Structures are given as C-alpha cells and as structure tokens.
Chains A and B, each alone.
Chain A
C-alpha cells in the first residue's frame, strides 16, 4: 500500500470524485523512458523505473478504470541492449493491458524486426505513422503526430513537439525533466520518473495531474519478473563483453599508483569508490553495460575492465578519473597526468544517477 500517499493527493484535485454530471473517462499517459528502465539505485532517494510505473498503472486502472496510452520514446541509442529494453517494456505493456502505444523514431531506429517484436509483446493498438495514426479509446480519439505532416485529428495527440495544437486538443510530448500536466500540454517526463493521469468529461479534458513515481511507490511484482528476465538476458547474452572499445592508452591499475602516491591510495581504499563493483553485484547489475562504466576502470577502452577478467580493473580506481596511466607509471616525469576537477566527477555523478551529489561536500570524502 505504498502508493496510497500519491493517490491520496489526487483526490484533492478531483480525481476519484466522479462528479454529478456524467461518467468521466480517465486516461493514463506514460512514456519517455529513453533507455532508463530502472533508476540507477546508487544513492538514495531514487525516483521512477518500470517496476514503479507498472504498479501505479495497475492501481490507476483498478481505481479509476483508466485507459492507458504510452507515448513511446522508450529507448535512446540503437544497440542490442536497447532491443532488450524495448522487449521488456513491451512485455509489461502487454501484461498490464496497454490500450495504445506510440511507435516513435527512437523505436523505429531499432529496425523493422524490433517493431514487429514490440507489437507482438505489447498487444495493444500500435500508433504507427507508417500504418495507423489514430485510434478511438473510450470515446476519445488518440492520434500520433508525424513530423512534417499534419497531425491526426484527435482529442489527444502524441507528439515530439510541445507546441499547442487547436483548442481542446491535449498534446502529449516527451520532456527532458519531470512529468508535467499544464492545461492541455502534458508530458510523462523523462526516465520513467513520472506519469500523467487525465480526466475527460463529455469529451473534454477537465483535469490533468502529473504523478511522480517516488520511492514510496512500491515495485509491481509482475513487472519485476519482466525486469529480472531482462537482466538475465543481458547477462546470458554477455552484452558487457561485447561493448565497443576505443583506444584510450594503456592502463596500469590502481596498485601501480600506490608506490608513489601512498596517501592518495589510502584515501581511495577507504572511499566508496573502492567498493563500487560490489555495490553493483549486490543489485545484480554487475553484468549490465549501462552500469559498469561508472563502476570500473576503462570499461569502454581497449585494455580496460572486462567481465571476462572481472577482478582486473573492477571498482572505481585512480585511472577512472585520471585516465590510462601506464606510461606515467613507467616514466612519471616524461608523461605527466592532467589534473581533474568537478567536471570529471559529473560525468558519473549526474543529477539522474546521484541526485544528492554536491561537489564540495563529496570531494571532501576523497580529497587527496
């Protein structure tokens, strides 16, 4: 019953109160995952994720008999992991009964075969600009906007463009931040951190509400199974061994640094950086390429961390920040290393992965 608080807030805005006139139609709007099926989980509190989203969708469907449409934009860059993410997301849509879902350029970029697989798993009605650009759901027309063409005439238009359409038309667009519900322009936000519930009455939008998928929203058991299956597939397909690697120089390993930099090494050993891979193992993400790069040394570099030799270059080491240093270790005076600062920290400690990260406060923990 962790969801009770977010839903209690809805009642204040009229949701749950059917009104005296006619039966309202509720519509859940999700989308904009952009490859983020789960919050990073490294620090607390973390918001969002497929499992929380599924729980909230299930509750809203039960409580309000709500229809569910997904605005797409599920993945970010093309690749096998994105394909697995798309299938896991589509599986959850199918299991929870999505009414309609958008095929956006991000899904399209994965190729026709993946669109076929997505359609098979999601089971709802695909809004695919190539085939069908609108659908009627409970008396409301939901359409998808095709870039460069007139959008489908609809009560709800799924669009990549936040510009308002004609009066009375609800525009759903992906946003770079939190979920928004501003008059007839709504967005489920980015990275599955929220969703939007719309209430229509007599065919008109009378209320919209952005719901944040906060930590108090529990995980949905069925979606958890689908997500675990996704992680198993990432592991069994050994995606972490197949990452593309570039030439970034030769790595020496943190032990090489200890001889000349004993104080810095001591600080490092006491820090969370030295246990970064153990943290991943605990949450079964140690074979997830999305996570490993910030929990190891040189994951995207030739000669860097590889799951084939999991002990070498695991954890966040000296070279994670200072770069490949084998040359420096061999000839320190000839090959000097660049100093690094806040900017380097922020490559991993982003607002999404480390929402509580404050450079001045956190630097004090590893000052060396």
Chain B
C-alpha cells in the first residue's frame, strides 16, 4: 500500500480521497458513533477519537454466548443454532473480519437468554430479542438478549428463531440497520419465524462497507487527520404515491420528491414489495439537491383497489428505510360476470347458462361474434343494462352495462360430456382496445369424480391418493364408500357444503407385485346416480 502511494506521489498524482460517508443500510447507532468520532477529529482530540472508534466494528470481533438461563434440554440445539449463526456471518464477511470466541474479558458481542422479555409498550407484544449498545470498554458493544418465549401467546423460541436472533445481534454489531425485507437477517420480526434468515448479498456489502469506514476513521485518528461530522437528511414531499386510476394492462407512473437537507451525500435505493411495482431513484443526492422517487405499476395482473409499497432505503441515520404506500385502482378492461356459478351441471332441461360482459372503460364497443369451443353449442347475446349479482364477488349486486350472453348446450349429447369439461366462449369485440374476451365455463353431467380414474403410479409400499366428488350448486349425500380390492380402504375426509367431497383411497401396500386394477364404489342419495364407480389402478405396462 505504502509503495503504491509513493508511486502516485512520484507521478505527481493525488492519492484518492478517503470516503468518510456512511454507507447505505447502516444503522443509526453506527451513524451516531461515526459522527462522534468525526467530532473528536474536528476538535483535534485524536486520542478521544481513537477511543470512541473502538466502538465501531473491529476486524477481529470477539463474541460469547451465555446459555446460563437456557433449559438443559434446549442447550444443545441452541448451541448449534448460535454456532451456525457465527459461521453464517463468517462466510459472508469473506475474510474482511473474523469472529473469534472470547475466552476471557469483555467481548464485543454478548448473546444471552432470558425467560421472557418485556412487552413492547406500543404493540403489547413480547419481542424475541432486545439489543443493548454499550459505550464503554467495561461492557460489550452489543448485547443481544434472546427471549426463551416470544409472541403474545408466549410460544417457545425455536432453534431457527435463535439462529435468526443471533445473526441479527451480530448484524447489529456490524452496524446494519433493521430492514423492511422479511427473510433477511435484519428483516427479523417479533412474531413466529419459520425459515432461517441467511445473510443476503446486500447485507454482506453493507457490513463490509461499515468495516471499511470504521477502519478509515481509526487510521484518521492515528494519522491525526481532521474529519468533519456530517450527515445526510432525507425529506420527502409525501408518504403516499397515489396513482391515477388505470385500466388493466396499463403501465403507470407516479412520483414524490425527495430532498437531501443534510450536509453529506444522501445515498438511496428503491424497490417495490411486489413484482407489480418498482421504485426508481437517483442513487446519490448531494446536499441541497432534490430528485423524483418514481414508482411504476404494471397492472396486467391486478384489478380493483390495490396497495403495495415502494421501499426507499437511505443512509439517513434517522430514517434508514421509508415505506411509500403505492395506491391505485385498476379497472378491468372487460369483466365477465357470472350471476350463479361458472359451472353448469347438465341435468334434465337445465342446459343453458347466462353470464354478462361488462366494460368499465368509457369506450364504444359491441359484440361482433361469439363462439363456444371445443364442443358444438350455441351462443346468444344481446345488449344489456341493469343490475346483476356477481357470484365471484360473493353475490354482490353490480350495475352492468354491456351484453348478456347465453351459452346454450341444448344440442349437446350426454355422451359428449366426459367428467368435467372446460369450455371457452370467445367473444370478438369491435373496439381495438378491447378486441377479445374469453369466458371459461365448466360443464359436467351430474356428480363427477375428479380425477375420473384414480392412479397410484408405481407404488413400492403403502400409499394413498385423494380425489373429489362434486356437483357444484346441487348438494348430495354420500351414503357409503368401499373398494372392490381388500388392499384399498376408502373414506370421506372433508366436504364443502355437501356439494364437493374430498375422498381418500388408501392402499396398504400388500397387493401382489403392487398391481391393482380395481374400482371404488360410492353410494349417494341421488336417485339418478345411486352408485358411482371410480376405477383405481397402478401403473400399466
């Protein structure tokens, strides 16, 4: 390094200026300590600066776990979790810092356990961890106290949760700010955590940048360099991105203004909490500068009132993350409204089903043609304006302006309908922005099993398969279930309003060569279908 500097001086070039700005993603505690060190350097109190700089993350980090209050039967699994937490960070730091277990003295990080932590006054929930920052050499810089019970229901803390809290504690020492992204180390939550929060790439970068700044400040204190304390300050014009109403499929933009009112560069990154929304912002704003934080909604998969968030992460120590509610109302270009159901049960004379095409968009359109595929059937349509109930919206009445469409299956022969068939009504419309609407309709003849044949694959032992027996909108009762094979037992496991039953076929694994070609017998209270036979087989060769 020194020889490189000598070379630069010899060539008449300046050494690159040291960047003392706080990185994006750093915590307020880290930022505050950095500014305290800088204040000492400004005041030329270099010994004081060196002393304070010891509070910043070191390249050799000592840690200790205190399991004194952990029940004996949990110690082993908790030890594994905490060791894994250390190893996880060690890998992510990739040699930039080393975690070493403290044999004696005061460690940089102490992780201990308490039976239950105090409820948080604002939410009244029992947190999973409490972080304490020490400011003297007599105490650890970070003490993470993990509760043995957590949540309002006082559930026992699992080993996965211990891992998550331990990596969070280490992350806090490394100066990382809490994150709004669940699943990341700093995105821990007080509720139940099922998965392991592994160190993300971003978190690894922030830790590395914090370590680099800490080292630069220690060098500055030793070299007696004057560094001014500065900090960026984020100001926003609004906390809500209120988008104008859009039609489904539109891509729409909205923005708020962000300003750096501080005296250090403001570093930012924006992202959406769903792939339907994204955020875009200039990455660095100099003091006094303003820019737009732009949100973009892609509405192809959205309808109705939608609210997601654009998240802005900045290096403003007082507000490291800001959530902007992104609100929009998306109108479907054309809506298919089924008054009763999207399934037609062919039964006697009941061979027609009606639905409505409604466009909320104030444009002129009419139906040019309509066709039902794949079966031969007729479609009738006529302009309609009035109120209809919307089955998909729980039967709510909706004002409709558009067309009434009747799919007529009168000419359909019963033998053409196998099981449950999906038909599609293709409707060609006159407006170039609204060319085609597809309306799916399911038809079935009476009570239908799905799958219509039970397939067990190529079993090597006991196995089971589940299937449904249904007749939407027309309840029926199952009176008995059985199977012709003694190796298969059959039972009803659930029912939805007596119109759809889930049935389990359980093979005991004892059939010769595991070959089965049999049938399930189900009796019902329907006089037209008193006995339903459902074939059951293993793989055929």
* Same assembly: yes
Which A residues have a C-beta under 8 Å from some C-beta of B? 21-22, 78-80, 83-84, 87, 90-91, 94-95, 109, 111-114, 116-117, 119-121, 134, 136, 139-141, 145, 147-151, 153-155, 159, 161, 163, 165-168, 171, 201-204, 225-226, 228-229, 232-233, 236-237, 242, 244, 246-247
Binary per-residue interface labels of chain B (194-222) against chain A in the complex, 1 for a CB within 8 Å, 0 otherwise: 11101111101000000000000000000
Interface residue total, chain B, C-beta cutoff 8 A: 63
Shortest C-beta distance, B138 to chain A (Å), equals: 34
A203-B200 contact, Cβ under 8 Å, with A95-B457, A229-B539: yes
* CA–CA, A113 and B199, complex, Å: 40
Q: Which of B11-19, B60-68, B300-308, B399-407 makes up part of the contact surface?
A: B300-308
User: Could you tell me if A94 and B275 are in contact, using CB atoms closer than 8 angstroms?
Assistant: no
User: Could you tell me if B451 and A83 are in contact, using CB atoms closer than 8 angstroms?
Assistant: yes
A163-B275 contact, Cβ under 8 Å, with A94-B457, A116-B465: yes
Q: List A contacts of B87 (CB < 8 A).
A: 22
Q: List A contacts of B468 (CB < 8 A).
A: 111-113, 116
User: Could you tell me if B455 and A87 are in contact, using CB atoms closer than 8 angstroms?
Assistant: yes
A116-B181 contact, Cβ under 8 Å, with A78-B422, A229-B539: no
Q: List B contacts of A114 (CB < 8 A).
A: 450-451
From B183, B276, B456, B470, A148 is in contact (CB under 8 Å) with: B276
* CA–CA, A95 and B182, complex, Å: 34
5 contacts between A and B (CB under 8 A): A111-B450, A113-B449, A114-B451, A148-B276, A148-B303
Q: List B contacts of A153 (CB < 8 A).
A: 181-184, 187
User: Could you tell me if A80 and B452 are in contact, using CB atoms closer than 8 angstroms?
Assistant: yes
Q: List B contacts of A154 (CB < 8 A).
A: 183
Residue of B at shortest CB range from A166? B271
* CA–CA, A150 and B500, complex, Å: 30
From A21, A91, A149, A242, B458 is in contact (CB under 8 Å) with: A91
User: Could you tell me if A121 and B465 are in contact, using CB atoms closer than 8 angstroms?
Assistant: yes
User: Could you tell me if A225 and B196 are in contact, using CB atoms closer than 8 angstroms?
Assistant: no
Residue of A at shortest CB range from B455? A87
A165-B275 contact, Cβ under 8 Å, with A78-B422, A116-B466, A136-B194: yes
Binary per-residue interface labels of chain B (491-514) against chain A in the complex, 1 for a CB within 8 Å, 0 otherwise: 000000000101000000000000
Q: List B contacts of A87 (CB < 8 A).
A: 451, 455, 457
Residue of A at shortest CB range from B182? A153
User: Could you tell me if A113 and B278 are in contact, using CB atoms closer than 8 angstroms?
Assistant: no
Q: List A contacts of B458 (CB < 8 A).
A: 91, 95, 225-226, 229
* CA–CA, A91 and B374, complex, Å: 29
Asked if B274 is an interface residue, CB under 8 A from chain A, the answer is yes
From B91, B450, B470, A21 is in contact (CB under 8 Å) with: B91
Shortest C-beta distance, A132 to chain B (Å), equals: 10
The 9 closest A-B pairs by CB, nearest first: A113-B450, A203-B198, A153-B183, A116-B466, A113-B468, A244-B374, A91-B457, A202-B91, A232-B540
Asked if B239 is an interface residue, CB under 8 A from chain A, the answer is no
Asked if B419 is an interface residue, CB under 8 A from chain A, the answer is yes
Q: List A contacts of B195 (CB < 8 A).
A: 134, 136, 141
Residue of B at shortest CB range from A135? B195
Shortest C-beta distance, B370 to chain A (Å), equals: 16
